[in-house]
Amino acid sequence: MQAAGQAATQQAIFGFRDFSAESKTEAKFLTVPDPKTAGQVLKLLTAEPHLAATPEDRKNVDYIAQKFRAAGLDTEIVPYRVLLSRPKSIQVEAFDPAGHNILSGLTPEQLPGENNQPGSGSHDPRVVAAYNASSASGDVTGPVVYANYGRQEDFDRLAAAHIDLHGKILLIRYGKIFRGVKVNLAEQHGAAGVLIYSDPQDDGDAKGEVWPNGPWRPASGVQRGAVQYLFRYPGDAETPGIASTLDLPDSARVSAERDEPHIAAIPISAQDAEPILRAIKGAVVPDAWQGALPFRYHVGPGEVSVHMAVKMDYERRIIWDVIGKIKGTQYPDDWVLEGNHQDAWVYGAVDPGSGTAAMLETVRSIGELVRKGWRPKRTLVFCSWDAEEEGLIGSTEWVEDHARELKRAVAYFNVDIAVSGPNFSGSAVPSLDRFLREVTKSVPSPLGSTVYQQWKASKPPETERRGPASAQNSEDVEIDNLGSGSDYSAFIQHAGVPSTDISSEGPYGVYHSQFDNYAWFTKNADPHFVYLQQMARELGIEALRMADADVLPLDYVTYAKQIAGYIDAARAKASDAGMASLNFLPAKEAASRLNASAENVLTQQLSATGDLPRLNAALRQTESALLTDAGLPNRPWFRHPIFAPGEVTGYTAQVLPGVNEAIDARDASLAARQLVALTQALDRAREALDSAH
């Protein structure tokens, strides 16, 4: 087959770029999502603070379930009993060498001119004080050390400067890596406690106008967030690997102490960090450590001490997932899933309200197709997760609860921070890279042309939540790998369900703060809700195309080639680390065998003849065949040998995690064992593909 002809045929298989019934269904669907309707839903969802397991959260759960049922979905509300933390009291004080108080307490989030009385301005008495979920309780006093972003390289630099961190309070700025990793590294280095603040350089006035005049974080803004050690396992901390159902006996639960922080962590604003940073002495920080506050930063310790006291209330609380299904006509046991979480730290207009509003508009629009007689070939499952913010809990418990059914799941499509601006961004497992690009070619952009063309024309901004770009055609749009930080994690990294995650991004300085509200959204993110419409369309085409595909559009040729590239990179890394004797050849040969099988199966995909159920089963089983029963070293919940969140990054994807992290640890024996496990996983995947014949 000539290259041009093959490319056109591949586009037909992976993109339905023809005049089939599928594309006609998609054309009908695209006319339904409505910006005004999505905006009305967003306003209702964000009217009240709705932290997980609160009455306001339950109110939104009931509303989402009602919307599912109105669209014709078979809907259930699924409860789980999980360990959640709430702050009883939080206190931070700072003192100069003479004992004078330079910070007497934390400033409430408020805009200039507000008096912080109930009912005034942005204040709402139902807003829970800013805290770090999963923080330990503690009452400690110590000298302060500034640790920049709290990355491994930052701690290495402090160690090289012979700064002892035992018993110190670390002041760390948000950004670059997951906050739980910052706390874990601080704990490993002997710190007594951690204050995490938002520096204006990263999301405040150094970026531009702050809210209410612009999109960036005002001085009193605080980034809440969980510090659970998600890189070990997400979900309920007492039930790793099993679902925390209401009838689960206490005897089946484990202590959460081993994998939870043992030191207190408190998020604070730039406004409250400023007097502490100003008073710290010691060595002047390197230029790369300097933030945007108007004075030179110092490392410490000395000159300033901090007293921090945290009392946390840990209780088993009820959370609720909402699950809605449209049963497939031909393959009812093959599920195509879409999900977003409904809980928020406060009002959550961007995170997650924009995702929920977009998904509900997708559901409403697909419901219109159902009302007119259309039914999917595969079962569509729409999911609204709870307690994502505390550690991806609702989605993880549900995945653990439905492990058997998910062996037949075809794909999971995630959306979280759906809209914070106009720049589309996508992440996916490599088998869905081509599929995701093709979907964006079918969805119109509010800027004109298609989402794909706008995506290609402007490189999306870097964000904390995204992983490193996949090895791919540099002339095409970049699709990131899946790390962690959202609800796709359990699907791909524990259950082996091919997954994507999409968003439309822009300047977003109010992440996890009280200011992420409807007013901010309508001024800065999407005033006319046209990007909510775009994301509803994008989600809908993903679902429709996968549900009705005669041949599953899973591309293992691209996947195998990327894995081969990852192996080459790991081999070079090992050589640089003085571990050149490691034998990468078996893994590289296994990747070549997988590629050869994928090329053979691609021929079957292109012809779309023969035993299609058998072909589709082989395509679906290939991803889960990669999973290892033993999981990754020291974190067995993560079973995927190709992708996992990095142990020292958290959000960012680590490719070949078992191999690369063993190389980082200079453990040649472990690296060799992980190479064997990788080779075996690749051969299992190849065997799964070969079963298509």
Task: Please give the Cα distance from 276 to 101 (Å, whole number).
Answer: 11
Q: Is 388 an annotated catalytic residue? A: yes
Helix%, strand%, coil% for the chain, nearest 5 = 40, 20, 40
Neighbours of 251 (CB within 10 A): 5
CA distances from 96 to 100, 211, 279, 280 (A): 5, 32, 7, 9
DSSP state of 197: E
Task: Please give the Cα distance from 39 to 318 (Å, whole number).
Answer: 29
Task: Please give the Cα distance from 679 to 589 (Å, whole number).
Answer: 8
Tokens of 589: 């040969």
Tokens of 169: 């309070």
Q: Mapping DSSP to helix (H, G, I), strand (E, B) and coil, where does residue 637 land?
A: coil
Determine contact, residues 228/133, Cβ cutoff 8 Å.
Answer: yes
Task: Please give the Cα distance from 123 to 112 (Å, whole number).
Answer: 12
Task: Please give the Cα distance from 646 to 181 (Å, whole number).
Answer: 9
Task: Please give the Cα distance from 389 to 224 (Å, whole number).
Answer: 9
Task: Please give the Cα distance from 660 to 671 (Å, whole number).
Answer: 8
Q: Of 388, 400, 623, 647, which is the active-site residue?
A: 388
The terminus-to-terminus CA distance of the chain in angstroms comes to 20
What are phi and psi for residue 385, nearest 5 degrees?
Answer: -90, 150
Bridge partner residues of 193 (DSSP): 169, 264
Task: Please give the Cα distance from 148 to 196 (Å, whole number).
Answer: 10
Among 556, 657, 659, residue whose Cα is nearest residue 231: 657
Question: For the range 592-595, what are the long-range contacts, defined as Cβ-Cβ under 8 Å and sequence gap of 24 or more?
Answer: 592/560, 592/564, 593/682, 593/683, 593/686, 594/556, 594/559, 594/560, 594/563, 594/682, 594/683, 594/685, 594/686, 594/689, 595/557, 595/560, 595/561, 595/564
Per DSSP bridges, beta strands 132-133 and 225-226 are: parallel
Which residues are part of the catalytic machinery? 388
